[in-house]
């Protein structure tokens, strides 16, 4: 049963999320009301997933995100926020968020997204995914341009892993950079190889190089 820490400054939101996730097989192991408390609880509880609001008093979600991941290595952090701005989205992705969901998502979809995250998938609301891919493709996301032929096939997290492979990083180095386990890195690599129709990391990088040159 995946263990989830819910971080939101509104008690009613925390209660509603706890009820929703409990009904979908998650164990809500704790709650926090701001970023500082989130870091402390993540370190104490070692959850599998942290569902993190961005706009909170004191230490906000963006500032807390890297520390949350450091406090509970291997946990996945999914942002759940009312803010779909590109700056917040990109900042969260760079900090290692496994997902970025808008609070306008239907409750059932939030639960489905979190189930996917536990399986190693990225979780992005539709409008958010479109913005992220547009920025990455244009090169303005500061992670290197990825041509449409490649970007259209991959999730946001797989794009991150591919770009780190392009920096000639090994599995252990990618895991440290993204604050995820080596097992999770291998899962993302296996998935992106399958989606690109290649059988090795070298072939994936050759595909990327050829697409950039086209």
pLDDT, tens digit, for every residue of 149-185?
Answer: 787 787 767 877 888 888 888 999 888 777 678 888 8
Q: How would you class 211 by CB atoms within 10 Å of its CB: exposed for 0-12, middle for 13-18, buried for 19 or more? A: middle
Please state the rounded mean pLDDT for residues 25-43: 95
Fold agreement between 3-126 and 146-213: no
**Which tokens is 38 given?**
């989130």
**Which tokens is 73 given?**
């290595």
pLDDT, tens digit, for every residue of 82-116?
Answer: 876 666 787 788 788 988 998 888 888 899 999 98
CA distances from 171 to 29, 98, 150, 165, 201 (A): 30, 17, 21, 9, 11
**Which tokens is 29 given?**
């192991």
pLDDT, tens digit, for every residue of 7-28?
Answer: 999 998 999 999 999 999 999 9
Q: Minimum mean pLDDT among 31-40, 96-105, 137-146, 189-198: which range?
A: 137-146
pLDDT at 11: 92
Q: What's the CATH code, domain 146-213?
A: 1.10.10.10
Q: Considering only CA atoms, which of 80, 86, 100 is closest in space to residue 21? A: 80
pLDDT at 135: 60
Beta partners for 102? 81
Q: Where are the domains positioned within the chain?
A: 3-126, 146-213
- 3-126: CATH, from 3.40.50.2300, 3.30.930.10, 3.90.230.10, 3.30.750.24: 3.40.50.2300
pLDDT at 141: 44
What band does 143 get if pLDDT is binned at 50, 70 and 90?
A: very low
Give how far the C-alpha of residue 151 lies from the chain's centroid of Cα atoms, to the nearest Å: 16
Please state the rounded mean pLDDT for residues 44-67: 91
């Amino acid at each position: 049963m995946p263990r989830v820490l819910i971080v939101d400054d509104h008690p009613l939101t925390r209660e509603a999320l706890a009820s929703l996730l409990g009904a979908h097989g998650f164990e809500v192991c704790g709650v926090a009301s701001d970023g500082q408390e989130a870091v402390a609880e993540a370190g104490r509880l070692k959850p599998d997933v942290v569902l993190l609001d961005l706009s909170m008093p004191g230490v906000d979600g963006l500032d807390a995100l890297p520390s949350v991941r450091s406090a509970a290595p291997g946990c996945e952090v999914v942002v759940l926020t009312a803010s779909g701005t590109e700056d917040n989205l990109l900042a969260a992705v760079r900090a290692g968020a496994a997902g970025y969901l808008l609070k306008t998502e239907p409750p059932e979809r939030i639960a489905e997204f979190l189930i996917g995250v536990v399986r190693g998938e990225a979780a992005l609301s539709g409008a958010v995914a479109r913005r992220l891919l547009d920025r990455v493709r244009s090169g303005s996301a500061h992670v290197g341009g990825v041509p449409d032929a490649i970007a259209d096939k991959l999730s946001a997290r797989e794009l991150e892993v591919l770009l780190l492979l392009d920096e000639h990083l090994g599995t252990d180095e990618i895991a440290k950079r993204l604050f995820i386990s080596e097992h999770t890195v291998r899962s993302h690599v296996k998935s992106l190889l399958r989606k690109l129709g290649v059988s090795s990391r070298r072939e994936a990088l050759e595909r990327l190089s050829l697409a950039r040159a086209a």
